[in-house]
Amino acid sequence: MSVTGSLLGLRCAAHSRSARWPGGWLIAAAVALGGTGIWVMHFTAMLGFSIHGATIRYDVPMTLASAAIAMVVVWIGLSIVMRGGREIFALPIGGAVTGLGVAAMHYLGMRAMRTDAMIGYSLTLVAASIVIAVIAATAALWFMLHVSGFRATIGASLIMGVAVSGMHYTGMAAVHAHHGSTMPTGADPMQLFTPLILIVTIVTVVLFILVGLAELDDRDDPQAERVSATRSAATEARSKRSTPSSSGPLRSSVRSRK
């Protein structure tokens, strides 16, 4: 799911660079990466999580809030890097916002877990998972800025999927549990996650169809290719402006001598 969401998010981001109204594609990319690639992956993995001899339930409002956080922070990060100024500033800011948001989603999702066991965390591994989340988010945003070819998109989505999964399982490795005595309240995991994952899967399929139709339309629309090339050139120009030019003073000196 993580690789699938990353792949779809990359294609949506690529289309936002050539679309006349890129905002819709940015929202689609946030739903794909934040919803499918991050949130669904997290709670699909949580279905396999158990504590021997303990009952696990989930708080529904907190679980839904974690889904909203995942999609919103990805949208904020994308908006910062796609519409911002110099990439050297926009990329780390967007990556930090998105990565910290993804970590917040993960630990809010863990906080939503209700169990009769006592849950604790290793602070060292929690810190490591947050660092991984920020690095993974920054890499994901860089890929969304620069990756457009099919093979490059596949490779980038695999890297992003591994990074997101690495953050999740590092966070899970930080958990330690001890038996308690209070019976938990909340929704049964299968009863809660099955319809939610089904809904997100349907949305993902719809997005795949829309992306496929957009790919076919772009092949027949030279205007879209020109817009994409123009925006890619603008992105590269912002990147170059963010790096000081060593030839500037030399040229000024030559002109002054003339």
What's the longest Cα–Cα distance across the chain?
Answer: 87
pLDDT (tens digit, 9 = 90+) per residue, 167-176?
Answer: 899 999 988 8
CA 244, chain centre distance (Å): 30
pLDDT (tens digit, 9 = 90+) per residue, 91-115?
Answer: 999 999 999 999 999 999 888 888 8
Is the pLDDT higher at 95 or at 246?
95
Coil, strand, or helix at residue 24? Answer: helix
Residue 134 structural domain: 2-257
pLDDT (tens digit, 9 = 90+) per residue, 101-155?
Answer: 999 999 998 888 888 878 889 999 999 999 999 998 898 888 888 887 778 888 8
Mean pLDDT of the chain: 79
Find the distance separating the first CA and the last CA of the chain, reported in whole Å.
63
Residue corresponding to tokens 């890499």 = 139
Q: Is the pLDDT of residue 258 over 50?
A: no
Residues 6+ apart with CB under 8 A from 144: 9, 10, 13, 14, 29, 78, 81, 82
As for how many domains the chain has, the answer is 1
pTM: 0.73
pLDDT band at residue 245, thresholds of 50, 70 and 90? very low
Rg value, the chain, Cα: 21
CA dist 180 and 94 (Å) reads 41
CA dist 111 and 206 (Å) reads 31
What pLDDT score does 9 carry?
Answer: 87
